[in-house]
Amino acid sequence: MDRLVVTGGTPLSGSVPIAGAKNSALKLMAAALLAPGRSVIHNVPRIQDCVTMVEVLEHLGAAPAWTDGTLMIDATDVTPRETPYELVSRMRASILVLGPLLARFGHARVAMPGGCNIGSRQIDLHVRGLEKMGAQFHSEHGFFEATAQGLRGAVITLDFPSVGATENALMAAVAARGTTVIENAAREPELVDLASFLTGMGASIEGVGTPTIEIEGVDAFEPVEHTVIPDRVEVGTFAIAACATGGSVVLQGARADHMDLVFSKLADAGADVGITEDGVAVSLRSRPNEVDLVTLPYPGFPTDLQPQMMAFLAGADGTSIVTENVFESRFMFVDELNRMGADIRTEGHHAVIRGVERLSAAPVRALDIRAGAAMVIAALAADGVTEIEDMYHVDRGYQDFEAKLSLLGAAARRERELSVAFS
Ligand code: EPZ
């Protein structure tokens, strides 16, 4: 496995380019399955999850070709072959081929996703939405077998504004006969990006970005060319890292309109946040104030920045309360932070963070993408040299992570351990 070795204490400064949004690109790649022909997606991040999704598409017969940040997907010869557990267990977003395959072929066979480090990650809301449009699901041997003799429009009311369930329903509804209404829909910017991609293919969608989306089914789709929106979670991660180190950075290409609550919470902590001609500037030269925050579906505070904020608030001048409402166990990394001298107690969905003067370096590990990013932020702010194991988690969601940190003046280097197999 490989580790990141970080020497803390250097305030980050400079400009860093922001990559395309992982949580949009993966869905656009799935949506490309709807249209025979060559779709072109620009600004696709070179991260492990996108490599995995390319494997899923290849497995289904699409011919993806990647040059720099542009992915060309020829979905002419796609067939609804089984999406294997090996790919789904590596990346849960693989289940988002369900909607497009049911829409185009009336059939899909996808391995059931396992849980992961932040919760059980059900897909009951995905299944129920697709069943409302006439799909039939049969589960056996760890697979979902889904069939539909022609999807038909329906009213789908989601118990929870699930991002994935909204996306799967949307990618099926665009081809369903008649009108579909998705109530209590997710409103994330990535959904808006997906709807823009689908509209470019010929879909008819109203209301995306609000809790009620209305879709008129159409019979055929054309391939499309599209550029992925910038990754708001990467923007937030580097903004928080700058604040945690008493630094000042410019996030090139950041969409401030996707980050209202994140920037407002950083301002509450004492940061200066300003729009520049090429992005957003964030700085904090003093010790942060304590800040309370509650994660909620968009436009609430994003759960994907909760671990990074916890690492930041561990050094605040006061006590902060963080409530995690989206996932049932997204505090697993707190024990790792406490090994670095943080004083955090969790009780169910709540965490009480008593700020300490300075964290101290200790060997720690990354537990998932965002927890790993949080450990890097803690290490950048800590006194001493921290080694973070299992950085493959972070590589799933961040392109050129340590290269970008080095660009901002951080002392961070990757060490790869050659795993020697003893026969
Ligand atoms: C997306 O996951 C993101 N992943 C997650 O980012 C993000 O944390 C999440 O949305 C919330 O914003 C991608 O877009 C690839 P949900 P998703 O369905 O779609 C429960 C990252 O680090 N639920 O909105 O899986 C679920 O268990 C990742 O980039 C059901 O109970 O999120 C969770 O508690 C982590 N049944 C909650 O809803 C369902 O059928 C939110 O899940 C679906 C979800």
Rounded to the nearest whole angstrom, what is the distance from the C-alpha of residue 185 to the centroid of ligand 1? 13
Last residue of a domain, one of 174, 207, 227: 227
Q: Which two tokens stand for residue 204?
A: 């008819």
Whether 423 is covered by a domain: the verdict is: no
> Of 228, 163, 271, 192, which Cα lies nearest the Cα of 18?
228
d(CA 1, CA 338): 23
Instruction: Tell me: do 159 and 274 sit in the same domain.
Output: no
| Interval 22-55: pLDDT, tens | 999 999 999 999 999 999 999 999 999 999 999 9
Q: Is the CB of 397 under 6 A from ligand 1?
A: yes
Instruction: Tell me: do 83 and 212 sit in the same domain.
Output: yes
Last residue of a domain, one of 195, 212, 227: 227
Sheet of strand 272-276: strand arrangement: 13-17, 248-252, 279-283, 272-276
Q: Is the CB of 264 under 6 A from ligand 1?
A: no
**Range scoring the smallest mean pLDDT among 63-72, 204-213, 263-272, 314-323:** 63-72
Q: What residues are paired with 156 via a beta bridge?
A: 182
Q: Is the CB of 364 under 6 A from ligand 1?
A: no
Contact by Cβ (8 Å): 261, 26: no
Instruction: Tell me: do 130 and 194 sit in the same domain.
Output: yes
Q: What residues are paired with 250 via a beta bridge?
A: 15, 281
The 3-state DSSP class for residue 257 equals helix
Contact by Cβ (8 Å): 229, 19: no
> Of 356, 329, 324, which Cα lies nearest the Cα of 340?
356
d(CA 423, CA 419): 12
Instruction: Tell me: do 245 and 161 sit in the same domain.
Output: no
Query: Residue 339's domain spans which residues?
Result: 2-19+230-416
Rounded to the nearest whole angstrom, what is the distance from the C-alpha of residue 367 to the centroid of ligand 1? 17
Q: Is the CB of 23 under 6 A from ligand 1?
A: yes
Q: Which two tokens stand for residue 41?
A: 């997606």
Task: Domain count for the chain, please give it.
Answer: 2
- Residue whose Cα lies nearest atom 19 of ligand 1: it is 164
Q: Is the CB of 369 under 6 A from ligand 1?
A: yes
Whether 422 is covered by a domain: the verdict is: no
Q: What pLDDT does residue 423 have?
A: 47
User: What atom of ligand 1 comes closest to residue 119's alpha carbon?
Assistant: 27
Q: What residues are paired with 111 via a beta bridge?
A: 143
Residue type, 47: I
Instruction: Tell me: do 58 and 150 sit in the same domain.
Output: yes
Mean of per-residue pLDDT scores for the chain: 95
User: What atom of ligand 1 comes closest to residue 298's alpha carbon?
Assistant: 12
Last residue of a domain, one of 176, 194, 227: 227
- Residue whose Cα lies nearest atom 24 of ligand 1: it is 162
Instruction: Tell me: do 246 and 375 sit in the same domain.
Output: yes
| Interval 310-364: pLDDT, tens | 999 999 999 999 999 999 889 999 999 999 999 999 999 999 999 999 999 999 9
d(CA 40, CA 201): 12
Instruction: Tell me: do 251 and 207 sit in the same domain.
Output: no
Q: Is the CB of 119 under 6 A from ligand 1?
A: yes
Q: Is the CB of 365 under 6 A from ligand 1?
A: no
Work out the average pLDDT over 264-271: 98
Contacts of 411 (CB under 8 A, 6+ apart): 6, 7, 10
Rounded to the nearest whole angstrom, what is the distance from the C-alpha of residue 164 to the centroid of ligand 1? 6
Q: Which helix (H) or strand (E) holds 346?
A: strand 343-347
Instruction: Tell me: do 309 and 397 sit in the same domain.
Output: yes
d(CA 394, CA 412): 14
Q: Is the CB of 124 under 6 A from ligand 1?
A: yes
Instruction: Tell me: do 205 and 256 sit in the same domain.
Output: no
The 3-state DSSP class for residue 155 equals strand
Q: What is the DSSP string of 84-108?
A: -HHHHHH-GGGGGGHHHHHHHHSEE
User: What atom of ligand 1 comes closest to residue 397's alpha carbon?
Assistant: 29
The set of catalytic residues is 116
Whether 116 is covered by a domain: the verdict is: yes
Instruction: Tell me: do 192 and 254 sit in the same domain.
Output: no
For residue 299, say if its preceding peptide bond is cis, omega within 30 degrees of 0.
yes
294 has pLDDT over 60: yes
Whether 359 is covered by a domain: the verdict is: yes
CATH of the domain at 332: 3.65.10.10
419 has pLDDT over 70: no
Whether 30 is covered by a domain: the verdict is: yes
Whether 311 is covered by a domain: the verdict is: yes
Instruction: Tell me: do 265 and 301 sit in the same domain.
Output: yes
Q: What pLDDT does residue 116 have?
A: 64
Rounded to the nearest whole angstrom, what is the distance from the C-alpha of residue 146 to the centroid of ligand 1? 21
d(CA 144, CA 124): 12
Whether 50 is covered by a domain: the verdict is: yes
CA torsion through residues 361, 362, 366, 370, sign: negative
| Interval 158-167: pLDDT, tens | 999 999 999 9
Whether 8 is covered by a domain: the verdict is: yes
d(CA 122, CA 162): 10
Instruction: Tell me: do 271 and 402 sit in the same domain.
Output: yes
CA distances from 82 to 30, 56, 95, 139, 181 (A): 14, 10, 11, 13, 29
Rounded to the nearest whole angstrom, what is the distance from the C-alpha of residue 211 to the centroid of ligand 1? 17
Phi, psi of 390 (to 5 degrees): 60, 45
d(CA 88, CA 147): 19
